[in-house]
């Protein structure tokens, strides 16, 4: 599943001891496994081999340039949602014809840059946006490809904050509006409507919500074809769940087996936009135990990482497995077989990585690994409490590479302006 394993009580990432990385680069520290990243990309690519889709890795999951470059070099495209992500995609030389661009709020400037770059298409989320892209394309004199993001109104059975395919969510167009757009497509002189797109949510562990959404999409595609509107692409989004706790998510193969027969009812080219599935299992966040503290009602392990470094537990109540970087330290351990809240130093009670977690004996100064932190970890991090964003290291085999330097206090204030006198 992933390349983080114990060897004689020491946690290794591929062939490198995690403790050595923590000592060399300090903590908190994100550590990624090259092999795990690639394995997950290829798991999907191989599972879908029969229909040879374009896999556009979703940049938001983990946008480090080295991660993007590795995937682009394997043939992946990129799914972007902002001008900043487009900048990253260009920086790693992703061919523009492998870039798709979603977002309910694309700005004038972002649209213009993406048109100039000649991306594969925009996934359009509203009529106003469609009209805006048409206007900008006309001004630039560049005919532009778009795809319509459909909101299929299905329940993905995941956390409500990462549900995106219900009509109560802000995303996409309902079928009727999409149909009206397609029937009046001649009106958008500067646009070519090339396909349909859905993305129903994230961390979806069963195939059934995907199946119902894709069925709806394919049936709409067929209906449009019968009306003489042939759409070249079907983009089925991302959303595949991974194991954080005891989930048993569908495997790439199981997912492919369920959806390929439906997709094959059309002749359309298929696009996938996985983020979490590829990046999630490939990363851990390594933190150091600062203090062990007990109150009359609770025990706390206070670590040097915090919610600004990994916000998923605070934001979604998300579970991450937490493992000692070195097992069975010694008998001098301050804690034994008790439950602890594992918390950070930030001034919020929401700043925790785990609640009431039973943890094997450890001491102040020991390291812990927060597992499954490769997606929506660093990319959602912030400078809250004026904490420097952490370093990222990529391990390939027996070598480790720094792929992002730790921020300094100078970085924290770099863009601030101190007014002498008001
Ligand atoms: N595509 C779109 C449009 C998204 O909004 C997202 C995530 O929010 C993704 C793909 C990636 O989702 P996941 O990381 O769950 O695969």
Instruction: Name the residue at shortest CA distance from atom 7 of ligand 1.
Output: 202
- Residue 238 Cα to ligand 1 middle (Å): 5
Instruction: Name the residue at shortest CA distance from atom 6 of ligand 1.
Output: 238
Residues taking part in catalysis = 347
- Residue 200 Cα to ligand 1 middle (Å): 8
**Structural domains of the chain sorted by starting position, each given as residue range(s) with its CATH number in brackets:** 4-31+280-413 (2.40.37.10), 95-274 (3.20.20.10)
How many residues are listed for the chain in this entry? Answer: 422
Q: Which atom of ligand 1 is nearest to the CA of 274?
A: 16
- Does this model's pTM top 0.85? My answer is yes
User: How high is the pLDDT of residue 336?
Assistant: 60
User: How high is the pLDDT of residue 320?
Assistant: 98
Residue spans of the chain under pLDDT 50: none
User: How high is the pLDDT of residue 332?
Assistant: 57
Q: What is the mean pLDDT of the chain?
A: 95
- Residue 81 Cα to ligand 1 middle (Å): 10
Contact 394, 403 (CB under 8 A): yes
* pLDDT tens-digit readout, 156-178: 777 777 777 788 889 999 999 99
Instruction: Name the residue at shortest CA distance from atom 5 of ligand 1.
Output: 199
Contact 178, 220 (CB under 8 A): yes
Tell me how far apart the alpha carbons of residues 117 and 283 are, in angstroms, rounded to a whole number.
Answer: 31
Pocket around ligand 1 at a 6 A CB cut-off: 58, 60-61, 79, 102, 199, 202, 237-240, 273-277, 375
Cα angle value 237/240/246 (rounded, 5°): 165
User: How high is the pLDDT of residue 331?
Assistant: 52
Contact 150, 198 (CB under 8 A): yes
Q: Which atom of ligand 1 is nearest to the CA of 280?
A: 14
User: How high is the pLDDT of residue 381?
Assistant: 98
Sheet containing strand 4-7, strands side by side: 4-7, 10-13, 16-17
């Amino acid at each position: 599943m992933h390349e983080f394993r114990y060897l004689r009580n020491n946690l290794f990432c591929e062939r490198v001891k995690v403790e050595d990385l923590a000592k060399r680069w300090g903590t908190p520290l994100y550590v990624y496994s090259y092999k795990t990243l690639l394995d997950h990309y290829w798991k999907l690519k191989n599972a879908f081999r029969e229909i040879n889709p374009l896999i556009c890795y979703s940049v938001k999951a983990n946008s480090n340039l080295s991660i993007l470059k590795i995937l682009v070099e394997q043939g992946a495209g990129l799914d972007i949602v902002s001008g900043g992500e487009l900048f990253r995609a260009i920086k790693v030389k992703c061919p523009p014809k492998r870039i798709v661009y979603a977002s309910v709020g694309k700005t004038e400037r972002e649209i213009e840059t993406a048109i100039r770059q000649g991306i594969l298409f925009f996934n359009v989320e509203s009529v106003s946006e469609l009209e805006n892209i048409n206007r900008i394309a006309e001004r630039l004199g560049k005919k532009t490809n778009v795809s319509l993001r459909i909101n299929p109104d299905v329940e993905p059975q995941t956390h409500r904050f990462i549900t995106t395919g219900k009509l109560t969510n802000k995303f996409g167009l309902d079928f009727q509006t999409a149909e009206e757009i397609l029937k009046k497509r001649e009106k958008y002189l500067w646009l070519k409507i090339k396909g349909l797109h859905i993305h129903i949510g994230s961390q979806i562990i069963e195939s059934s919500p995907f199946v119902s959404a894709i069925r709806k999409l394919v049936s709409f595609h067929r209906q449009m074809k019968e009306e003489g509107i042939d759409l070249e692409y079907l983009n089925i989004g991302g959303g595949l769940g991974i194991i954080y706790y005891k989930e048993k998510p569908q495997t790439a193969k199981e997912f492919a087996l369920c959806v390929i027969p439906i997709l094959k009812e059309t002749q359309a080219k298929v696009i996938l936009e996985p983020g979490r599935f590829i990046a999630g299992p490939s990363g851990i966040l390594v933190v150091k135990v600062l203090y062990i503290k007990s109150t009359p009602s609770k025990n706390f392990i206070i670590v040097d990482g915090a919610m600004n470094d990994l916000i998923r537990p605070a934001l979604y109540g998300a579970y991450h497995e937490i493992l000692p970087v070195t097992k069975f330290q010694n008998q001098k351990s301050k804690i034994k077989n008790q439950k602890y809240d594992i918390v950070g130093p930030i001034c919020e009670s929401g700043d925790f990585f785990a609640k009431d977690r039973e943890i094997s004996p450890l001491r102040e100064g020991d390291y812990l690994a927060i597992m499954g932190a490769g997606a929506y970890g660093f990319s959602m991090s912030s400078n809250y409490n004026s904490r420097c964003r952490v370093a990222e290291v990529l391990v390939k085999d027996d070598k480790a590479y720094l792929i992002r330097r730790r921020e300094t206090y100078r970085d924290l204030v770099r863009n601030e302006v101190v007014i002498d006198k008001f």
